[in-house]
Structure 1
């Protein structure tokens, strides 16, 4: 019998990462990428010391009660709203995430989604694929400019700062932002960003990008009242987390053209998508892929593995989200 700690890898990840984990642990992985129910996950965790999760496994009091040996959950994600952090801390279970390694890739994608939304790329592609492009018109899929416009960022962490720099330095945008706390003056200057209230940002921005972490307080940060403040020519992009936007309110605002367009990489209740968002033409939809490049996803998997190795090696986790 092995004396190595037992680790469960909840979803399919890079084979090389699993092989590295096997050098340190007794590993049960999931190469077929089966989507386990909470009960199935609990059954597999009953004799495990650690878990490598991917953000789609809910770690709550009920699961922890069924996993008495569990000491650490290493999330392969920067977000950890799948963690009940209070319950984990009470149970003495360490949580970790994978910050920093996906910052630039996610900022790239956020800006790509902003551009696709403003320039109506998805809507025009559907038109072309349907064989409707028979002649040119002066106003055919005329969208809005990025260069020289006002970019409003809600949530000015590392990814928000990356988007701000891309907009200000690459496209000559005026950047305004709202955050729980104001950035240091030197960092504001680096991002060429001006702090404003949330209401002022919504009223004045041509393009609003959401990059704030999900918390209960952030639930429906953008709802009917906030959408009503935005310009009818404005766009809204969400690369943060589902639940930060009231998707039903957004679908209605898009349908009524109360804002021009939206770009969404995250959704309430994903992978389910609010049905009306699938019927309005002025929205770009992507399936939570902001960090989806091979180097970045590999770095995320490796950092999750590094957290497990460091924890059981006695050095402590590299990127903890709670204090044990």
Structure 2
């Protein structure tokens, strides 16, 4: 399929440098504004293009992919997570799916540590006090938080990002524990000084901080459900920079309100931008608007991977970041 004839539709605004390169390489349709496409707009795009470049805001379910045009041959996702794409149906239709793994590992791990510090040291409360003009001076007992050094950090999901979080946590003097679908090789465990827990329940019950770093799949939906959240120590905190669906948000909100969990730092939410209003009212919760991967460097590198996946496919080869159903 010659690249000069390749029709590409991009569903959201991308960094200018990425869009410029797209225009140089392909017959590309870009967005004039940054609002998400409607379902009808997505369907129209999928029926009239060779390659779709979606983002996590585009829900490409079974019915959407089944209604795509026969010429659609590649969904080159701008982002690492593909839980918004029905990869199985795409493969059945002969449509390849690629993603952009690895490029936001450090950015997301940095944000995880930022949330851990923000929650345990009560940074947003101090910020709000300063911005409101309520601060009257230093006090020995004001805004007392907790020291992170020596605390037990339980990482749920020890892939690239989980391991990057572990390295940062060790630098802060934290004890690293983890639960993963598969145990890491012994040399990686030794490097990270990480303790493996086969039982997630047992790990959760013993940790001071839980960090969610696993992808959203059918197997991880509400992995931190009400029963498991109740296993957490009352003085423990939970941080999520992965996918909101992994945590039962309503159960978490109830427990935070009741003081059964000390605090939470959340960059992702179960229903996207529809956040439980009761969660917004809590001063022991730090909420961020899905900023984990929001660095200029990361967004540009994501675009470069998308371009490489499309160009490799256009040249008749397998995209380097091809997503297979068995990987999910």
Give me the TM-score of the superposition, normalised by structure 2.
Answer: 0.94
Q: For 1:235-281, what per-residue CA distance to the aligned partner results, in whole angstroms no more than 9, with x for missing partners?
A: 10001101101111111111111111100000011111111111111
Match of 1:125 in 2: 127
Q: For 1:145-198, what per-residue CA distance to the aligned partner results, in whole angstroms no more than 9, with x for missing partners?
A: 111111110100011001111111x11211111011100000001111000121
Q: For 1:73-127, what per-residue CA distance to the aligned partner results, in whole angstroms no more than 9, with x for missing partners?
A: 1111111101111111111111111111111111111111111111111122223
What is the distance in 1 between the residues matched to 2:74 and 2:45?
15
Q: How does 1:32-181 map to 2 (within 5 A)?
A: 32-68=33-69, 69-168=71-170, 170-181=171-182
Consecutive unaligned residues in structure 2, runs of 5 or more: none
Aligned residues: 322
What is the distance in 1 between the residues matched to 2:315 and 2:21?
14
Q: Return 138-147 or 278-287, whichever deviates more.
A: 138-147
Is residue 2:193 matched to residue 1:192? Answer: yes
Match of 1:204 in 2: 206
Q: Do the aligned residues in 1 keep the contact of 2:87 with 2:325 (CA within 8 Å)?
A: no
Q: Do the aligned residues in 2 keep the contact of 1:60 with 1:88 (CA within 8 Å)?
A: no
- Indicate the RMSD between aligned Cα atoms, in angstroms: 1.6
Deviation at 1:219, TM superposition (A): 0.8
Q: 1:141 to 1:323 in 2, by over 3 A?
A: closer
Match of 1:237 in 2: 239
Match of 2:183 in 1: 182
Q: 1:207 to 1:3 in 2, by over 3 A?
A: closer
Q: Do the aligned residues in 1 keep the contact of 2:36 with 2:57 (CA within 8 Å)?
A: no
Consecutive unaligned residues in structure 1, runs of 5 or more: none
Is residue 2:250 matched to residue 1:248? Answer: yes
Q: Do the aligned residues in 1 keep the contact of 2:153 with 2:207 (CA within 8 Å)?
A: yes
What is the distance in 1 between the residues matched to 2:91 and 2:180?
27
Deviation at 1:5, TM superposition (A): 1.1
What is the distance in 2 between the residues matched to 1:139 and 1:229?
30
Q: For 1:295-314, what per-residue CA distance to the aligned partner results, in whole angstroms no more than 9, with x for missing partners?
A: 11110111112111111111
